[in-house]
Structures are given as structure tokens and as C-alpha cells.
Structure 1
Amino acid sequence: MANSLNIGIQEVSIQEMKTLIDLVKSKYSIDKPDNKVTPLWENLKESFGVTNKDAWRLIRDFIGEAVSVMFFNQSDEKIGFVFRNGNDVVCLLSETYGFEFYLTNRDAEYLI
């Protein structure tokens, strides 16, 4: 689908994703001593939500022309995907059904 939409996307290896997710967790997540596997969003130090069925379209404005990495809860999927810009993320999301995902950059400077 990405090719037919002319979306710039690359798969990120499991090992690279593990390193990035560890960085994301160290910055944004509360350490859970019980080792229970839960979705990342359930353990965030801080969070902000928007109630709007089309809020995902705002990703384009937030990311702009920067490269971003999409990843998922590790219990669901271990690989991730690099997008060349926010428009490509929104374009792909517009062709999919609802699913849980996270976005950051390679330095984990933000978490969506």
C-alpha cells in the first residue's frame, strides 16, 4: 500500500526498535516493579489527550517535514517503520482502520 500511495517508509529492525523503545521508556514511562507487560500508554509519566475523532490528522502539523518512527506495543509487533515526514504518516493512516501506535523521532524527543 505504501508504494501505491508514494509514501516513503522503511522497516526498522527488532534490535533497533528495542534500543529506541528503551530510550522512550527511560524518558516517558514509569518503571513498573511487577514486570507486568502493559501498553506503554498505561505507564506514561505525563500525558495529554485530545478528544476528536480526526485528531490523528494533526500529526502532519506536529511532525512536519521531519523523519519519524512509528512503533507498536512490543507484545503486538516488534518491528517499527520510519516515515520521511508527517504527511506520509497521515496519508498511510487515512488508508487504515484504527490501531494502537506510537510516534517519535530517532532521539525520542517527543512521544505521540
Structure 2
Amino acid sequence: MLWNIEEQIMSAAASMNINVTKISEHDTELRFQQLSRKYANGTKLFPLWEHLDNDIAVQHPEAWKWIAEYIGNSQAILMFNPSDEKSSYEVEGGENLVKLLSEMFNVEFYVTNKNNEYLLCFNHHDVLIACGDATEWIKKYENIQD
């Protein structure tokens, strides 16, 4: 039996009083199509991070926590490989996003904003991958060793 990501997110959000809005499977699929066209030559293959172009990656087991700094107080959309979870979730603020992720089982995830100005991915190799506007930001972490 697979773990239930929606259940984990909603349970963590309720216990920490974090406002999370579930986004439908259809709208999530449309967003992945947009992200794929923008950052992965339109591929329909998952995991999407394997097909990204012009990305910068940093390997560090704590790298997923750095996302809070990049997102700041803005809204973020948390997405997953469709085989793990077909819906996505809108979360207010990077700190809240990281708090939610800290309550979840180790799972690959993607983060973007409403305008798809950036794409952040964290995979099972402890690699944080940045595309779009996030590439400049992640460069400061390139030489960090764990």
C-alpha cells in the first residue's frame, strides 16, 4: 500500500494551522504541461526532473529546507510525480511549505508559483534542482558540502 500524500499534507496542515488549498487533478495536469513546455522541451515523461533543460542542481540532504528562503512570503504550488499524487497544493509562504514537507515521508516533489516563473525539484538523490528564476538563487549553494 502506498502512503497517501494528500492525507499527510492535510493532516500536517491541520495540526500546524497552515492554510493549504488543494488544486484539482485536471488543473495540476495542465500546470505540469505548462512547466514541461517551459523547462523540459514538452516531455510528458516522469520524473520530470530527469528531462529539464538549463537547470542547476545542488546535492545536499538538507537542500529541500532552503526552498523556504527562495519562496519567502509568496504563494507556492507543491506538486508531485503523478504516480505518487495527482493533485497539487497551494501553500502560503516558504516556511509553511517546509514545515509541511518536514512532516511527510521522503517523497520527490516540485514547487512553482502561479506564473511558473521558476521550478524547484527535490529528488530521491537529495538533489535540489532549479529552473527559471530560481537558477540565480541556487548558485550560492553550489559549493556547499554536507
Mapping of 1:1-112 within 5 angstroms? 1-32=12-43, 37-112=45-120
How big is each residue's C-alpha offset from its partner over 1:45-87, in whole Å with a ceiling of 9 and x where there is no partner? 1221122211111111000000010111123321000001101
CA distance in 1, matches of 2:66, 2:80: 19
Q: TM-score, normalised by structure 1?
A: 0.89
Q: TM-score, normalised by structure 2?
A: 0.69
Task: Report the AA paired with residue 73 of structure 1.
Answer: N
CA distance in 2, matches of 1:15, 1:97: 25
Higher strand fraction (1 or 2): 2
Aligned residues: 109
How much is the aligned-residue C-alpha RMSD, in angstroms? 1.4
Q: Which runs of 5+ in 1 are unaligned?
A: none
CA distance in 1, matches of 2:21, 2:52: 27
Q: Which runs of 5+ in 2 are unaligned?
A: 1-11, 121-146
| Percent of paired sites with the same residue | 35
CA distance in 1, matches of 2:37, 2:80: 16
SS in 2 for 1:49: strand
Q: Higher relative contact order by CA 8 Å / sep ≥ 6: 1 or 2?
A: 1
Change (3 A) 1:20 1:38: closer
